[in-house]
Amino acid sequence: MRTASQHHLMYYFSSRRGSCKFHQAIKPGVRNSSQISFTGRGQNLQFPAPIRKTRLFVISNTDDGYACVPLLEEECNTNNAPTSEPETIFSKWSPPSFLWRGLSVLVLAGQVIIRILKGKVHWGNTLEQLERVGPKSVGVCLLTSAFVGMAFTIQFVREFTRLGLNRSIGGVLALAFSRELSPVVTSIVIAGRIGSAFAAELGTMQVSEQTDTLRVLGSNPIDYLVTPRVIASSLALPFLTLMCFTIGMASSALLAESVYGISINIILDSAQRVLQSWDIISAMIKSQVFGMIISIVSCAWGATTIGGAKGVGESTTSAVVISLVGIFMADFALSYCFFQGAGDSLKNCV
């Protein structure tokens, strides 16, 4: 049930020189305009009075038949101007998540580099993250590298034995492990184990407003959270890559001798003739770049998390996927820069 109400507006002003009295009835739903005039000695002033539109709604109670719970709705417009701004083409447009997250990676990388150059690093947190990325990840990295080495040994030994190139098996395995397999496999394991943890931790802190608490306490989240993780990943991955290379070659030599009857001395001698210092240096450079990609992407995805627990899960999954894609793209670019032209490394072991 809706009832209409009528309001009376009365204005009364008095002074020594004159007085004014204004009275008007207003009905809801009708635009009214009025003016108030002052009459004095030799002065006549007029100005428009603001009008308020009032609607009264009454909700009937079906239990006892009496009206109850009045709801009063008022709309005020003092200057007769439109209350809503006109919509533009880009008023409701927002950039896609991958675009602004990709930009956040670049911004975060620049801030980390500036912080490191200025020496603003939280060394206690850096050592903690270094222990987490390095020693606590050795087991899974070495186990993965050992089985990958044995799998490649099966393929190489079968084919090279048929061609009578037993003395080239060690050299081929050494080049494959040093240039590609060791840094890439190690980075994939770290991306799945450490990168996901970085994204989940920072995402949880973001949605629970813990990063805002750090700012209130006077700590910069980049100095305390991001920079230590980037430094730890960049320092730990080269050493993990060297260890994975050693274990991969050892497992390959043991499998070749125990299953195919090829002496370990032959494989190690072939690897020693083929390997050069640049092969090991390139593997360490690659792994360091991969560590920076994993840490920065994971931290950026975690820091831009929205949407509660669901957003944390989506950010973690997306961070691992983007990190793997970045690893493969960087591996191609670095390999193209490091190993151009025809190689002559295997001519020493044929």
pLDDT-derived band of residue 91, with 50, 70 and 90 as boundaries?
low
Question: Percent of the chain beyond pLDDT 90?
Answer: 37
Residue 223 in domain: yes
Task: Look at residue 230 and tell me if it is in a domain.
Answer: yes
**pLDDT given at position 22:** 46
What is the DSSP code (8-state) at residue 276? -
The residues with which 195 forms a beta bridge, in sequence order, are: none
Q: What is 193-232 written as a DSSP string?
A: IIIHHHHHHHHHHHHTTHHHHHHHTT--HIIIIIHHHHHH
Residue 15 counted as domain residue: no
pLDDT band at 12 (very low <50, low <70, confident <90, very high): very low
Per the structure, the complete domain to which residue 170 belongs is given by 127-337
Domain count, the chain: 1
Mean pLDDT of all residues in the chain?
Answer: 78
Q: Cα–Cα–Cα angle for 133, 141, 137, nearest 5°?
A: 25
Buried b or exposed e, range 271-305, using 16+ CB within 10 angstroms:
bebbbeeebbebbbbbbbbbbbbbbbbbbbbbbbb
Task: Please report whether residue 109 resides in a domain.
Answer: no
Q: Is residue 187 part of a domain?
A: yes
Is the pTM value of this prediction over 0.75? no
Residue 257 lies in a domain: yes
Average pLDDT over residues 173-187: 92
Average pLDDT, stretch 161-172?
82
| Tokens read off for 138 | 């050795």
Determine, yes or no, domain membership for 77: no
193 within domain boundaries: yes
CA distance 268 to 242: 16
